Structure 1
Amino acid sequence: MRATRILGGCAVLLTALALVPAGAHLLALPNKLAMGRDAYLAAQGAYAGWAWAGAFPIAAILACLGLALRQRRPPETPRPALLAALLLAAGLAVFFAWTFPANLATRNWTTLPEGWEALRAQWEWSHAANAVLTLGALVAAIRAALGPPDRPGARGRLA
């Protein structure tokens, strides 16, 4: 039981840490979409070194899967932990389908090719989608860490 609680806490913490950069991108989206070429290129320079943040969703997926394995016997259920892992994996799929190709086309935003506005939109909106998926994963991880809900009439009984 103690190991399950520790694993649940790790799943929540790692998922919350994965939400930090995703949420920052989401909150900056309206301002960044309004920027001109030079301002946008300068703003993108602030993300140098952020690739290390990619470790958080991977670690969170592993923690959620580990939690799901620990919760596979009734009265526990692995569904919330599995949902959290699935949402985090979907966020990684979004990253590799839309964000990463924009990073490649712009050499990690050190140059802006023709049509850069479309790449900007692709990059910004893919990060927004990732933030929404990661927020959903955090809610699911919290639910998983809390364990099974109390059943009506079960209070006061010893199992």
Structure 2
Amino acid sequence: METKKRKQPLNAYILFYREILQEVPEFVQGRDHKKFSVLWKNMASEDKQLYFEEAARLNELHVEKTSMKVIKSAKGLFKERQRMEIKKQFPCATVKEIRKHLRGVYKGFSKEEKSKFVEEFKELKKTDITTVGNDSETSIGGPREDWSEKHISRLTAYS
């Protein structure tokens, strides 16, 4: 099974490396790698600072972009709300233990209790800004509304 690795932002050296490749077309990426490293090593720290600042800016953008969490179901909404409370009560609990506990709690809910989260999830789905421009069929705001309706009705059926 192939997994997608989250891309990391470019570091200062790679930014420098790419810039030199664009400015000096004679350099070949693989062959002249040692020349690049010597140039970087001998560069004044003031000149390097520009690259470090740009790398820090790119890192901040990356963190903002990847830290947004999209809740995909009513069960996910419940878990997200409860996870922090449990973590405060039991700081030594592992992620696996918390997940197992929340799964059991949600499974034990009645239809009425689950319907509260389903309704709240539907409202969140209408107003949540993290879903804008998301075209995946399995995520909130995807192109198939019937998928989410089937999914929600399946959730309420398990009680």
TM-score, length of structure 1 as denominator length: 0.26
- Flag the structure with more relative contact order, 1 or 2, with Cα contacts below 8 A and sequence separation at least 6: 1
Q: Which of the two has higher C-alpha Rg? A: 2
